[in-house]
Amino acid sequence: MSAFGNAGLTKIPGAVYKVEQSSFATYDKSYSGVLVGAIPFLQGDIAEEYPNTVLMTMNVTETGEQCNHVRIDLHYEGKATSFVGADTKMDIAVDFTTSQEPVESHPDFTTEIGGTPTEPLHGAVFDARTGEFLGFPVVDPDEPDQSPSRFAGVRSYLMPQETFTSTTVEFDYPSEADIASVGQVFNPSFNLPALPGNRSWLNSGIRVQNIGNVYYRTQQTGMLSGPRNWLPEIYGSL
């Protein structure tokens, strides 16, 4: 154990320094003893052992009959300046799921599923004035022996969906240009697996965790479009 100044505290062996792939670093250490004077730690302090981390949280436990007999647990966070290579400092997670979409947006709706207002399939009903798809009947005129119709009640379908989350630790908040790109079509700066078809990525959000006003743990999320792409009139274009 090592003593901490004249505060009456001794560092407990077993401190842990951890670095994630995104370069996010944490350091946890503890002290115990009879506290003399005020607690000598402040949020935002730099860790002497790992100066790339700053003190974020502190937990004080009274260990004896008197309140100055304490154990103090310190948690530091920051950015690793070594160990993580420049080409691996980004932690990327990719999810393949499904999303529920209107059945009339299915790529094969007009040819295999519901047809068009002038040439409906499987008894699809359309609004006579607007052409809006309204639904399928219980009896399918194309398959009268199938009751109820295979399409009866179908109003949506599950479309394959791909999203990603990238995590990095930066020295500042995202730029105005980065923030302005939220909700817009964009090209991620790294390779991602893609579903078949002509698709594009939408910047669906940015989340920033301020680490002591020194480091900024930044998460960006993206969503891949369906096979018909994002509408450029709404989401912009590259």
Name the burial class of residue 35, with classes exposed (0-12), middle (13-18) and buried (19+) by CB atoms within 10 angstroms of its CB: buried
Q: How many residues are recorded in the chain?
A: 238
Tens of pLDDT, residues 108-136: 999 999 999 999 999 999 999 999 999 99
Q: Does pLDDT of 105 surpass 80?
A: yes
Q: Quick one: pLDDT band at residue 4, thresholds 50, 70, 90?
A: low
Q: 51 is written with which tokens? A: 């100066």
Question: How far, rounded to the nearest angstrom, does the alpha carbon of residue 160 sit from its chain's CA centroid?
Answer: 18
Sheet holding 24-34, edge to edge: 2-4, 9-19, 24-34, 69-79, 53-62
Tens of pLDDT, residues 26-69: 999 999 999 888 899 999 999 999 999 999 999 999 988 777 79
> Residue 66: its pLDDT value, please?
74
> Residue 87: its pLDDT value, please?
59
Q: Residue 167 in contact with residue 91, Cβ under 8 Å?
A: yes
> Residue 237: its pLDDT value, please?
81
Tens of pLDDT, residues 166-215: 999 999 999 999 999 999 999 998 899 878 888 999 999 999 999 999 99
